[in-house]
Structure 1
């Protein structure tokens, strides 16, 4: 039986078509031929398009951006900063010099999924859009009615209100599980959670970038890759949950090496999904309560979510990596859900 990384009793206390457009990604206007002739659209982030009164048409080629038609008469609603700051995702805050402990605002995309009643902690997640957070499907598959849930953004130390930046809580109105999610094998363990009102960008609240195509392979090949997991899960197997958002640098594993290692725990018949990613080392691993949280890697000073914490065998055991859903394989599904919402 695989162990999902989820804590069900830990309480947070305070005491229109989806298509690939032949567009360039350099931010210039692009001509798109339609029923009314050739119109100019601009490649930008989805939220920036919508907040400026535009209409997303399709994805820009090899990009997470959309080709956006903006009515020159439209007035921006001013929810989040507009261009030239549309490429603001994945901007990490100031680093903490204490190993394993984050600084306030250091990981501004990390989200806590909570039950409104008694602030019961459900799982971690990552903000990927002003209305959407990415998490693991096993975290939220029991919530066919999402109204008991809320997202807490910008939290750092759950035991105090005396922090540099206040957190923000948003009600959930929609949960979208991947249609192929299997709760037994935990394949396709990925889900999107939508909030009623948009998140407001602050020093401690920002989006993480979606992985560019091929970035996971590059991270696997780069032995010096900087990849971290974050969460309030247990600090060690059998230990207590963290009260300050922890950060753990983890090495990535090839799927072949990971499958071989996990067979020693789950049995010789264990088969690792091709849409999984493995990471971890002795004493450096996700643990109970970290499920749904992001595995992020840095490239050119930008941070990308390459994995979602899914399951593992114990916490930080030697030769036993944790398993993550490989986000790169679900880019199109994520974009389709967000664009069609």
Structure 2
């Protein structure tokens, strides 16, 4: 998930309800400021970052219209309300929602580079101890819809697609994480990693929840 203010994390609904609940139970906490999960403190040659912090969860709020058994995972978005306000630091900062930065005059072109990050599966291991990040190209929605029709999956306007380059993709364990882009001098949370067909297959982009389309839903929950 991604921290969006001092109290809330934005993630995918399938990370907080459905099959995952049956498998591991309800989420109880989040870790903020993490980089290398095998180390208590993350250091480079010059300095060390503050230790990651564990924060309890007050409430998980999946989108009311998300259905865990739907093929296309529409409305795969959830908020996590933390049990206390977070103090920001050099290693813990919120990401901007699309509505917080100036609107673009035209939709970004296919091929525009986005960044995805997470601790998910890599070519070498089922999960990565160190946070990975990768640039992935935006894929035209119509092209993505055509591709996923081969799997009888209906990709919709509330989703956006990125990737499709061999061995460069989000994968299991990256779900709920950010698809982001640096624009207007800020990192903007454009998408939430939702699903894909296998991982890193050439021509098969990953599908993300389009955050901009859920702005009013997010704001209505932040008020509560």
Cα distance, 1:239 vs. partner?
3.7
Q: How does 1:91-110 map to 2 (within 5 A)?
A: none
Q: Does 1:276 align with 2:163?
A: no
Partner of 1:258: helix, strand, or coil? helix
TM-score, normalised via structure 2 length: 0.87
Instruction: Summarize deviations over 1:50-101 as a string: whole Å, max 9, x none.
Output: xxxxxxxxxxxxxxxxxxxxxxxxxxxxxxxxxxxxxxxxxxxxxxxxxxxx
1:315 equivalent in structure 2: 199
Q: Does 1:181 align with 2:60?
A: no
Q: Does 1:138 align with 2:17?
A: no
Partner of 2:122: helix, strand, or coil? coil
Cα distance, 1:216 vs. partner?
10
RMSD: 2.1
Cα distance, 1:160 vs. partner?
1.0
Q: Does 1:161 align with 2:48?
A: no
Cα distance, 1:329 vs. partner?
0.3
Distance change >3 Å, CA 126–CA 152, structure 1 → 2: same
Matched-pair contact (CA < 8 Å) for 2:145–2:156: no
Matched-pair contact (CA < 8 Å) for 2:16–2:26: no
Distance change >3 Å, CA 222–CA 303, structure 1 → 2: farther
Matched-pair contact (CA < 8 Å) for 2:10–2:77: yes
Mapped to 1, the partners of 2:157 and 2:5 lie a distance apart of 26
Q: How does 1:73-112 map to 2 (within 5 A)?
A: none
2:86 equivalent in structure 1: 199
Q: Does 1:249 align with 2:128?
A: no
1:109 equivalent in structure 2: none
Distance change >3 Å, CA 301–CA 309, structure 1 → 2: same
Q: Does 1:149 align with 2:28?
A: yes
Mapped to 2, the partners of 1:216 and 1:141 lie a distance apart of 36
Mapped to 1, the partners of 2:27 and 2:137 lie a distance apart of 36
Mapped to 1, the partners of 2:55 and 2:187 lie a distance apart of 24
Mapped to 1, the partners of 2:206 and 2:110 lie a distance apart of 19
Mapped to 2, the partners of 1:292 and 1:147 lie a distance apart of 15
Partner of 1:330: helix, strand, or coil? helix
Cα distance, 1:218 vs. partner?
3.1
Matched-pair contact (CA < 8 Å) for 2:41–2:52: no
Matched-pair contact (CA < 8 Å) for 1:147–1:171: no
Partner of 2:98: helix, strand, or coil? coil
Cα distance, 1:148 vs. partner?
4.9
Provide structure 1 residue ranges, at least 5 long, that are not aligned to the other structure.
Answer: 1-124
Instruction: Summarize deviations over 1:162-215 as a string: whole Å, max 9, x none.
Output: 312211111001011111112122110000001111111010000000013755
Mapped to 2, the partners of 1:216 and 1:172 lie a distance apart of 38
Distance change >3 Å, CA 148–CA 305, structure 1 → 2: closer
Larger Rg: 1
2:107 equivalent in structure 1: 218
Instruction: Summarize deviations over 1:300-327 as a string: whole Å, max 9, x none.
Output: 3211001001000011100000000000
